Amino acid sequence: MRIAMVGDVMLGRLVNERLRREDPAYPWGDVLPLFEQADLRFANLECVLADGGTPWPRKTFHFRSDRKNIASLEAAHLDVVSLANNHVLDVGVPALQDMLPLLDAHGIRHTGAGPDAAAAREPALLTAAGTTVGVLAFTDNEPRWAAGPGAPGIFHVPVRLGDARGQQLLELVRETRRRTGLLVVSAHWGPNWGVEVPEEHRAFAHALVEAGADVVVGHSAHIFRGVEVVRGRPVVHSAGDFVDDYAVDPEERNDQSFVFLLDVRDGRPRELRLVPTVIADCRVMRAGREARAIAARMEQRSAALGTRCRWLEEERCLQVPLA
């Protein structure tokens, strides 16, 4: 089985404007063939799909994309998206409530937000290559949006092992792993900038793996952070931005990321390949001349976490052995 994973996908603002005159596949540039290689495709949906809504008060950025742009998610053949983030309620609860059945109607599974706390923490369960795969998503962003017993919102969990909510998440991971052949945990966590991995993230990721996560894929930071291998399981501490219209910081280079391709054999992750990408003109493209330099930065950041990577020139990607 091969799983394709990417970070933040933001289809609002200028991307939304572009999609009013371009084909739904436009934001995905030339990466769709990579998605087509996979049995399962995952992304963090960093916006809400709705035609209306009221901007959340005292919030600087509001990311909303037209309902019709569900066709863009379909063009990428996305199987499951995380909604546990700090933009899914940007234009209010009714917009979220409008999007949930829209995703369902188009066969796109979702996790991390819902009409109440129980729904928000419910994992998405899918079958790929004959294996039941679970995807569980949480965020430490926007605590005011935490779903309650009768209140819509996100699955909010502080990234602190000493917090009862962190322990409840670990128990949910253990429970979900017993129901699945492979478990992916999506973490929308931490600050927007800085290549260093927060120590509390490393400790939390280790605990997630110990509890049964086979893959931890982090995002929220606008830049990519290193990959760590914990007991043979990959932890992508930050996948970075994948599609958006953001201004580019010339030093941090928030326009650079990867398609993360995970190969699973005999029920265990065996190899992770990272294909460098660049955002330009509201769409993602495979990196050209910059590819090796982007990969070198990931090599350096991963080495700081004890992970050795290898550049494969012919495939133009970075390889992380796991077995």
Q: What is the pLDDT of residue 306?
A: 97
| Mean pLDDT on 238-257 | 97
Q: What is the pLDDT of residue 182?
A: 98
Q: Does 120 have pLDDT greater than 90?
A: yes
Q: How far apart are CA 274 and CA 73, in angstroms?
A: 21
Backbone CA torsion sign across 283, 289, 293, 295: positive
pLDDT band at 213 (very low <50, low <70, confident <90, very high): very high
Q: Does 323 have pLDDT greater than 90?
A: no
* Residue 145 CB partners (closer than 8 Å, separation 6+): 86, 88, 89, 153, 154, 156
Q: What is the pLDDT of residue 159?
A: 98
Percent of the chain with pLDDT over 70: 100
Whole-prediction pTM? 0.98
| Mean pLDDT on 6-23 | 98
Q: Does 32 have pLDDT greater than 90?
A: yes
Q: What is the pLDDT of residue 278?
A: 98
Q: Does 85 have pLDDT greater than 90?
A: yes
Per-residue H/E/C for the chain: CEEEEEEEECCCHHHHHHHCCCCCCHHHCCCHHHHHCCCEEEEEECCEECCCCCCCCCCCCCCEECHHHHHHHHHCCCCEEECCCCCCCCCCHHHHHHHHHHHHHCCCEEECEECCHHHHCCCEEEEECCEEEEEEEEECCCHHHECECCECEECECCCCCCCHHHHHHHHHHHHHHHHCCEEEEEEECCCCCCCCCCHHHHHHHHHHHHHCCCEEEEECCCCCCCEEEECCEEEECCCCEEECCCCCCCCCCCCEEEEEEEEEECCEEEEEEEEEEEEECCEEEECCCCHHHHHHHHHHHHHCCCCCCEEECCCCEEEEECC
Q: How far apart are CA 260 and CA 322, in angstroms?
A: 14
Q: Does 37 have pLDDT greater than 90?
A: yes
- Domains by residue range for the chain, with CATH: 2-321 (3.60.21.10)
CB 96 within 8 A of CB 81: no
Angle value at C-alpha 65, between 46 and 85, nearest 5 degrees = 20
Q: How far apart are CA 307 and CA 94, in angstroms?
A: 44
Based on its alpha-carbon atoms, the radius of gyration of the chain, rounded to whole angstroms, reads 18
Q: What is the pLDDT of residue 303?
A: 98
Q: Does 104 have pLDDT greater than 90?
A: yes
Q: How far apart are CA 100 and CA 116, in angstroms?
A: 12
Q: How far apart are CA 156 and CA 248, in angstroms?
A: 29
Q: Does 151 have pLDDT greater than 90?
A: yes
Give the model confidence (pLDDT) of 274-319 as tens digits. 999 999 999 999 999 999 999 999 999 999 999 999 999 999 999 9
Backbone angles phi, psi at 277, to 5 degrees: -135, 160
| Mean pLDDT on 163-174 | 98
pLDDT band at 261 (very low <50, low <70, confident <90, very high): very high
Q: What is the pLDDT of residue 253?
A: 97
Q: How many other CB atoms are there within 10 angstroms of residue 162's CB atom?
A: 7
Whole-Å CA distances, 13 to 60, 61, 84, 239: 13, 10, 20, 22
